[in-house]
Amino acid sequence: MPTDGFMYPNEIELQWSVLIVLYPFLTGLVAGAFILASLERVFRVEAVKPTYRLALLTALAFLLVAPLPLQLHLGHPERSFEMYLTPHRSSAMAMFGFVYLWYLMAVLVLEIWLDYRRDIVVLSQTTTGIKRLLYRVLTLGSSNISENALAIDNRVGWVITVIGIPSAFLLHGYVGFIFGSIKANPWWSTPLMPVVFLFSAMVSGIAAVLLLYMLLNRLRKQPSDIRCVDTVAKYLFYMFIIDFSLEMVDLIHRIYESDESFRSLDFMVHTRLFLSQVVIQILLGTVLPIVLLALTQVARLSEIARKRIYVFAGCLTLIGIFAMRWNVVIGGQLFSKSFLGYTTYKMGFATKEGLLPAIVLTVLPLFILWVLVKVLPPWSEKETAPVSAAVAAN
């Protein structure tokens, strides 16, 4: 028997699998990457400019994949459109469809389109064949890239980013709310849940963009802008401090209050969740990267050393945040709501909700990002010449 103690008979089977762990992880990366992008746009942090477009494309790539694990997990995927037909107003999950669409279409796609419009118009004039057709469609038949038009785009883009920040908060805050609002489950039910999800999202998104930026530069054999990397790492450090404090507030609150579920949950953390929660999430995934990042802030390290630390800390951060999602989603289902027993989660491999689809869905956004980078190159230097030429020709 995989269970200890007493479970209600229907509880032995876990309902939400690794795919549901993946979902908040992916949307977290989206929200985090977008907020990093908005730093440059709204808060005018010039140093992070080289990551701006990459952050937007990363957000789009992950956002496109985010609903797939949910879809795969449904007992009847063919009925998911019902969420748009008859959304139940009292359900946090029903809002998913609308928040998702709003964020995808009204914020992300729009912002990317406005920011890339000049490039798209230029590309529609300089490319041939299918590519040309694609860019022609993307221009929506308007090739007006006069200074006035671009100024309008810039202003509208700014407004959209301003709207986008609360939207990104909404997108991920509501994911936290899905868990935090379940009063039946004391492991989930806390008003801090959306806030913790939000800050951990920013942490993971910033870390992901930092890593991708350095990785892509390496592939392109271009040097990473050290001022940019330092600034992004600094923001990662600040966000991490806030995120860690919030998680500790939650933990201390639970320990001090010691409600009826405490003994059961405490036992779970010390046994079944010890590795994933205490070791991976807290020690390796949070404390260690914070210490490493603090080191780069305090000590005078060489550029190479700093970059290596950023890469290492970034990887640890992503592992730690994934572990956090795991501990929330899976941990919340390991104990009985009678507080008298525990079950285990057995992950399949090549099953519908197993490890293999989870890995595929994690790699898929990177592939989409690769395509997006090909179609909408985020680097400006190569395009500078043709764009200015085209503008002049106009």
Partner 1 sequence: MKLKDAAHLFRLAGVFAAGILIFILVRSYLVPKSFGQYGHFRGDALTEIKAQPISYAGHQACEACHSDVLDLKSKGKHAQVNCEACHGPLAKHADDPGGVTPEKLDTAKLCVRCHEANSAKPKKFPQVASMEHSGGLACNECHTPHSPAIVTEGGKK
Partner 2 sequence: MNMTRRHFLVLLPAAALAWENILAGAPETATNYHTSEHWWGMLVDIEKCIGCGSCVRACQKENNVPDGYYRTWIERYRIKEVNGVETLEVDSPDGGMNGFPSSNEPGVKEFFVPKMCNHCADSPCTQVCPVGATFVTPDGVVLVDEKYCLGCRYCIQACPYGCRFLHPQKNVAQKCTLCYHRITQGLTTACCENCPTGARQLADLKNPKDPIHEFLRTHSVQVLKPHLATGAKLFYNGLDGAVR
Nearer to partner 2, 117 or 254 (CB): 254
Q: Is 146 in the site for partner 1 (CB under 8 A)?
A: yes
Q: Which does 80 bind (CB under 5 to 8 A by kind): partner 1, partner 2, none?
A: partner 2
Q: Is 156 in the site for partner 1 (CB under 8 A)?
A: yes
Q: Is 269 in the site for partner 1 (CB under 8 A)?
A: no
Q: Is 303 in the site for partner 2 (CB under 8 A)?
A: no
| Side-chain-facing half-sphere of 208: CA atoms under 13 Å | 36
Q: Is 73 in the site for partner 2 (CB under 8 A)?
A: yes
Interface residues for partner 1 in 43-102 (CB under 8 A)?
Answer: 81, 84-86, 88-89
Nearer to partner 2, 184 or 393 (CB): 184
Q: Is 110 in the site for partner 1 (CB under 8 A)?
A: yes
Q: Is 386 in the site for partner 2 (CB under 8 A)?
A: no
Nearer to partner 1, 55 or 121 (CB): 121
Q: Which does 185 bind (CB under 5 to 8 A by kind): partner 1, partner 2, none?
A: partner 2
Q: Is 262 in the site for partner 2 (CB under 8 A)?
A: no
Q: Which of 1, 13, 219, 221 binds partner 2 (CB under 8 A)?
A: 13
Q: How far is the CB of 338 from partner 2 (least distance, A)?
A: 4
Q: Which does 13 bind (CB under 5 to 8 A by kind): partner 2, partner 1, none?
A: partner 2
Q: Which stretch binds partner 1 (CB under 8 A): 29-37, 138-146, 290-298, 343-351?
A: 138-146
Binding site for partner 1 (CB under 8 A): 81, 84-86, 88-89, 105, 110, 113, 117, 139-142, 144, 146, 148-149, 152-153, 156
